[in-house]
Amino acid sequence: MKTSFIPIDYDYFDFEGRNYAKIIGRDEKGKRVCIIDSCPAYFWAILNQELKQKEIEKLLDKINQIQLDVKGRKTKVEKTEIHDKNFLGKPVKAVKIFATNYKDLHDIASHLGMPEIEKRRGYDLGFITHYIIEKEIKPMHWYEISGEVLNNSLEFGGIDSNLDVDFCIKLEKAKEISDKKFPPKGLAYDIETDELKIGEGEILMISLVSDNFKKVITWKKSSHKERFVEYVKDESELLEKFVEYVRKVSPDFLVGYFSDGFDLPYLKARAEKHKIKLNLGLDESQPKFTRGINLSGKINGIVHIDILKFIRTAYSQYMKSETLSLNEVAKEFLGDSKKEFIIQHSSKLKEKDWNQYYEYNLHDSVLTLKLFEKFWPDILEFTKVVQEPVFDVSRNGLSKQVENYILHNLEKFNEIPEKRPTHEEIRTRRGNKKVEGAFVFEPKPGLYENIAMFDFTSMHTSIIISMNISGPTLLEKSDKNAYTIEAENKKYSFSEKQGFIPLLLKEIFEKRKLHKKEYKKNPSPITKARSNAFKLLSASIHGYIGFFGARYYSRESSASILAFVRKFNKQTIEKIQNSGYEVIFGDTDSVGFIIGSKTESDVKKLLKKLNSELPGIMELELEGFFKRGLWVTTRGGTFGAKKKYALIKKDGKIKIRGFETVRRDWCRLSRDTQNKIIKSILSEGNEKKALKYLKEVIEKIKERKIDKKDLIIKTQLKKPLSEYKAISPHVIAAKKMQEQEIPVSQGNLIEYYLAEIDTKKSLVRDKVKLPSEKGDYNIKYYLEHQIIPAVENIFQVFGINIKEVIEGKKQMTLRDF
């Protein structure tokens, strides 16, 4: 049989001692197809390069005789081949050692302690990764495949008999073809329970949302019935109904929000309790969870996606939302929010509340599905680039993505993969001294007019590519054509001959450029997110090289990249200064300066000139022209504060970096006040109106006219309560919550305010009260610790001492009497 096919979910099984990949996907008509395929299992033994032909032959004989009996499985070396390969960019002779089962490679490798063998590699990729590399059946690419139909066949122990697919095919041939349409079929789900702890309460309802499908299943009856609500007898039946509907809708992607950590484990726990099989898998299997602290729930044949995880790795750095709660994320990306509903224990809910609860539950799934649809293009892009299954790509951290991308492209370079570092290696790497980072220019505080900003496009990546930096390209001895840089009082040189890592990064670099262009042409939260996602992937490459867990870790490379970053940043600053401009800002890959008496076209000419002097693919671009910009001193007051500035464009658009306004651990009042003051100063060009506004705010505070919700301070609990050495206010607040039996755990955003207290205790933490606790806000604290620190440095730019102004005003009122 011949058909089109797009692989979506990968799994594998053993049959008669061999490994088989089992891939679920669709054909172009939307029929569900499963293909079964085998794949040779092998790894590499890199030989001592001085071996003679005879010695090699003798060695091969020895290897060919290896037979093992591990974990009750008999295994042996099936065959060996000699190949000319590359390892870390250098040509090597290597033996390709084939075994029956991929899982045995590690054991065989550990029996190869002969002196003729220098290194053993390629046994630690994981079967799926190995399979995708070997057979080039890449996720989310289209293929024309042919093979034997296994429907109702007894092959592989009758694999098809309980597999819910339209066709099951034993793959014979596959040819990549051009992209076809693939509408991803997503089904979002969300549960509501009485208790938050996994499995401890009952599941009250489950919502399911897909295209033209909306359902809330519940066993909690109310007299009013919405169309989408379906009642069942009890929790057991609810679980069964859930499975039934998932099977009926038959999605490619079952999507939840924090569902790896909550919904799916909860469902599983309750199913176990009721002794019900949660057979969601296409093969009727139940969800499986990876071990470890971070659970991942896998369903056979259906890709379970916890969209929160993808958002967290790919976007969170660039998001405005203070938390990654569904509500805030939906607001930011969808302009939609959760339905209003105060969750209480079901026993406390009144008859009329239930309808609201159903709607609330349903809407969560609606939002989750929308988020999935919004981010699907990004997940798809990442999957195609990284070439790992969607399940993994949607969960992996950035280092994993970069590494997988490299691993999947080594064959082009005839490269043998490097191994994962051992625990011992990781320990030493972690113990290494930190490499010196980027250069940050100390700004001169002030309010400036007409500013231009330049920044380097993907600076680290373009340096890696242009200067050919990587572990394998690092030279022991410099030659005259090498790229050389001084770092840590040493000279590091990288070969002129292009290495495989720098070459591979080019693709990501180009994708990043493309998406940035797309965003500039059509700005929307999504194009912005996409552009940033690739910016992140691109920027992570440098992080990856310096990451202790990386296969291709190279401390020297990392130090060199950063040394180049410093060099080019400083050089650019100098060149701009020499062209007659005053530089006022510089951080890592960007420079800001005053245009002064020159024109914008002069600036553009300068940019062109600077670019012509840059090596390789390095590129400086115009970030923008700004009408005004504000820089302040540090809190101490002596230096210009780095990483803190505000700019206004001609069209009034404001860009604020680093100020308290953008920090979530300051109360709303301080942030709003500072924000208004900055905006006023930037648009007016002076501080007059801002000062007036500040005085009003201060009066309001003194008169206790400020709404308590604007005084709430939010701080994240970054670790378990017991691990804190310093008992800071938010730790106290968390402890208070615990006492009141409000669940608190690591990662929660703790909210509190500072209240007036009777005792003379002087620590801030003694004034902490939870938002629910009654009390008057502490006027002195909010003035001296929230408002003044947030605005003091800004007014200092104009020579105004805010403390004196406040006190001076007091004197005036005294004189008035």
Partner DNA sequence: ATATACACGGATCCCCTATTTCC
Partner DNA sequence: GGAAATAGGGGATCCGTGTA
Q: Please report, as residue ranges, which positions from 207 to 246 form the binding site for DNA (by CB under 7 A).
A: none
Tokens of 64: 């060919």
- Residue 512: CB minimum distance to DNA, A: 13
The distance of closest approach from Cβ of residue 186 to DNA in the complex, given in angstroms and rounded to an integer, is 25
Instruction: Return all residues near 497 (Cβ < 8 A) that are at least 6 apart.
Output: 468, 473
Give the residue with the Cβ less far from DNA, 13 or 625: 625
Instruction: Compute the distance between CA of residue 519 and CA of residue 513 in angstroms, rounded to an integer.
Output: 10
Residue 627, interface with DNA (CB under 7 A)? no
Task: Decide if residue 438 touches DNA (CB under 7 A).
Answer: yes
Single residue of 12, 131, 547, 782 touching DNA by CB under 7 A = 547
Cα-Cα-Cα-Cα dihedral sign, residues 769, 771, 777, 782: positive
Q: Name the minimum Å distance from CB 691 to DNA.
A: 20
Stretch that binds DNA, among 24-32, 278-286, 543-551, 576-584 (CB under 7 A): 543-551
State the nearest-atom distance from the C-beta of 292 to DNA, in Å: 3
Binding segment for DNA among 118-126, 186-194, 327-335, 584-592 (CB under 7 A)? 584-592
In the bound complex, what is the minimum distance in angstroms from residue 472's beta carbon to DNA? 19
- For residue 796, the SS3 value is helix
Other beta carbons less than 10 A from residue 202's beta carbon: 17
Using the rule CB under 7 A, which residue among 23, 573, 641, 737 binds DNA? 641
Whose Cβ is closer to DNA: residue 377's or residue 658's?
658
> Of the candidates 609, 657, 692, 809, which one interacts with DNA according to CB under 7 A?
657
DSSP category for residue 719: S
**Minimum CB–partner distance for residue 420 and DNA (Å):** 8
Phi/psi class of residue 580: alpha, beta or left (left: φ > 0; alpha: ψ in -120 to 50)?
left
Least Å distance, CB 247 to DNA, is 32
Please, what is the minimum distance in Å from the beta carbon of residue 662 to DNA?
Answer: 5
Which stretches of 100-212 are assigned E, i.e. beta strand?
117-121, 143-149, 167-176, 186-193, 203-210
Binders in 12-31 for DNA, by CB under 7 A: none
Query: Interface residues for DNA in 594-623 (CB under 7 A)?
Result: none
Of residues 763 through 792, those in contact with DNA by CB under 7 A are 763-766, 785, 789
Q: How far is the CB of 140 from DNA (least distance, A)?
A: 23
Interface with DNA includes 642 (CB under 7 A)? yes
CA distances from 605 to 577, 586, 601, 602, 720 (A): 15, 20, 6, 5, 55
Which range touches DNA (CB under 7 A), out of 87-95, 185-193, 476-484, 546-554? 546-554
- Choose between 293 and 812: whose C-beta lies nearer to DNA: 293
Q: Which of 549, 616, 624, 775 binds DNA (CB under 7 A)?
A: 549
Asked if residue 400 binds DNA (CB under 7 A), the reply is yes
Q: How far is the first Cα of the chain from the last one, in angstroms, to the nearest whole number?
A: 99
Q: Does 664 bind DNA (CB under 7 A)?
A: yes
Nearer to DNA, 336 or 792 (CB): 792
Q: Assess 428 for contact with DNA (CB under 7 A).
A: no
Integer Cα distance of 313 and 262 in angstroms: 19
- Residue 508's nearest CA partner among 424, 361, 405, 416 is 405
| Residues numbered 553-572 forming contacts with DNA, rule: CB under 7 A | 558, 562
Q: What is the DSSP letter of 723?
A: G
Part of the chain binding DNA (CB under 7 A), chosen from 125-133, 524-532, 613-621, 636-644 = 636-644
Q: Is 457 in the site for DNA (CB under 7 A)?
A: no
Q: Does 536 bind DNA (CB under 7 A)?
A: yes
Q: Which is nearer to DNA, 399 or 675 (CB)?
A: 399
Site for DNA in 281-320 (CB under 7 A): 292-294, 317
**Whether the Cβ atoms of residue 617 and residue 465 lie closer than 8 Å to each other:** yes
The string of DSSP letters for 284-315 reads SPPPEE-SSSS--EEBTTBEEEEHHHHHHHHT
Binding to DNA by residue 434, rule CB under 7 A? yes
Binding window for DNA (CB under 7 A); candidates: 371-379, 524-532, 695-703, 755-763? 755-763
Q: Which 493-532 residues touch DNA, going by CB under 7 A? A: none
Candidate residues 26, 304, 530, 542; the one interacting with DNA per rule CB under 7 A: 542
455 scored as a contact of DNA (CB under 7 A): yes
Nearer to DNA, 246 or 755 (CB): 755
Size of interface with DNA, in residues (CB under 7 A) = 73
Contacts of 313 (CB under 8 A, 6+ apart): 396, 397, 398, 401
**Amino acid at the residue 562:** L
Q: Edge to edge, what strands does the sheet with 582-587 contain? A: 582-587, 590-594, 446-456, 620-633, 640-648, 654-657
Cα–Cα distance between 786 and 780 in angstroms, integer?
9
492 near 555, Cβ under 8 Å? no
**Contact, 456 vs 567, CB < 8 A?**
no
Choice between 192 and 378, CB closer to DNA: 378
Distance CA(256)–CA(280), nearest Å, equals 15
Contact 16, 103 (CB under 8 A): no
Tokens of 21: 């990949």
Per-residue contact track with DNA, 706 to 745, x per CB under 7 A?
Answer: --------xxxxxx---xxxxxxxx---------------
Paired residues of 716 in beta bridges: 749
Closer residue to DNA, CB minimum distance, 442 or 602: 442
With residue 136 as reference, give the H or E element that holds it: none
CB of 41 to DNA, least distance (A): 23
Contact 255, 305 (CB under 8 A): yes
CB of 58 to DNA, least distance (A): 38
CB of 701 to DNA, least distance (A): 16
Of the pair 258, 548, the CB lying nearest DNA is at 548
Interface pick for DNA out of 234, 665, 756, 776 (rule CB under 7 A):
665
Number of other CB atoms surrounding residue 801 within 10 Å: 12
Task: Provide the token pair at 223.
Answer: 């007299």
E strands present in 742-813: 749-754, 768-769
Distance CA 167, CA 185 (A): 18
**Is the Cβ–Cβ distance between 519 and 527 less than 8 Å?**
yes
Q: How far is the CB of 260 from DNA (least distance, A)?
A: 12
Q: Which stretch binds DNA (CB under 7 A): 225-233, 300-308, 545-553, 687-695?
A: 545-553
Cβ 209 to DNA, closest distance in Å?
29
Distance (Å, whole) CA 201 – CA 270: 9
Q: Binding DNA by CB under 7 A: which of 146, 250, 634, 796? A: 634
Stretch that binds DNA, among 1-9, 11-19, 114-122, 392-400 (CB under 7 A): 392-400
CB 45 within 8 A of CB 112: yes
Cα 251 to Cα 282: distance, rounded to the nearest angstrom = 11
Taking CB under 7 A as the criterion, the residue among 398, 410, 469, 677 binding DNA is: 398
The residues near 375 (Cβ < 8 Å, ≥ 6 apart) are 307, 310, 311, 314, 529
Part in contact with DNA (CB under 7 A); list of ranges 64-72, 380-388, 539-547, 600-608: 539-547
Q: What are phi and psi of 788, to 5 degrees?
A: -60, -50
Site string for DNA, 60-79 (x = CB under 7 A): --------------------
Check residue 155 for interaction with DNA (CB under 7 A): no
Which stretch in 191-199, 254-262, 475-483, 587-595 sits in contact with DNA by CB under 7 A?
Answer: 587-595
Residue (214 or 668) nearer to DNA, CB: 668
Q: How far is CA 499 from CA 87, 154, 512, 549, in A?
A: 11, 49, 21, 21
By CB atoms closer than 10 A (0-12, 13-18, 19+), residue 312 is middle
